[in-house]
Amino acid sequence: MSFIYTLLYHDARSALETVGLDPGVGYLHRDRPGRLGLALDLMEEFRPMLADRLVLSLINLGQVKKKGFTVTESGAVKMDDETRKVVLVAYQKRKQEEIEHPFLNEKIPVGMLLISQAQLLSRYLRGDLDDYPPFLWR
């Protein structure tokens, strides 16, 4: 789960930077050195659909198994290369799927949702929108 969250975190950071927003200045997450609060804020809208659902699907479909992980002496859990590849391929495939954006009313790839939401947030902050329309997945 944390591996997918890390991928999503970096995608959120990139989306915010693409539209000219500082990913370190968050609303929901307190500013801390080395932690990008706004990237974490943007992630919250997508964790259930992009991360949690993907991980559960990989487990339920038997694509990721317990044997793909080892626990080190320090207690850290390591993913083997084969499992990592399965997860990365599944994540990239998920991002290529199309979905209708509830606010924009147009089909876009799931991977573009973060950029779309970052653009909407940017427009709201500039005063071009009265409210920020959060992404609500159904």
What is the CATH number for 48? 1.20.120.920
- The answer to the question of residue 60 being in a domain is yes
Predicted TM-score of the model (pTM): 0.89
In this prediction, residue 24 has a pLDDT band, given cuts at 50, 70 and 90, of: confident
| Six-digit token string for 97 | 């799927």
- The answer to the question of residue 12 being in a domain is yes
pLDDT at 73 over 90: yes
- The answer to the question of residue 29 being in a domain is yes
pLDDT at 128 over 80: yes
Task: Work out the average pLDDT over 61-84.
Answer: 95
- The answer to the question of residue 138 being in a domain is no
Name the DSSP letter for residue 30: P
- The answer to the question of residue 58 being in a domain is yes
Number of domains in the chain: 1
Contact between residue 121 and residue 134 where contact means Cβ atoms under 8 Å apart: no
Structural domain containing residue 69: 2-126
- The answer to the question of residue 25 being in a domain is yes
Task: Work out the average pLDDT over 88-95.
Answer: 97
- The answer to the question of residue 111 being in a domain is yes
Contact between residue 84 and residue 69 where contact means Cβ atoms under 8 Å apart: no
- The answer to the question of residue 137 being in a domain is no
Burial 90-113 (b: 16+ CB within 10 A, else e): bbeebbeeeeebeeeeeeeebbeb
**pLDDT score of 35:** 77
Contact between residue 108 and residue 101 where contact means Cβ atoms under 8 Å apart: yes
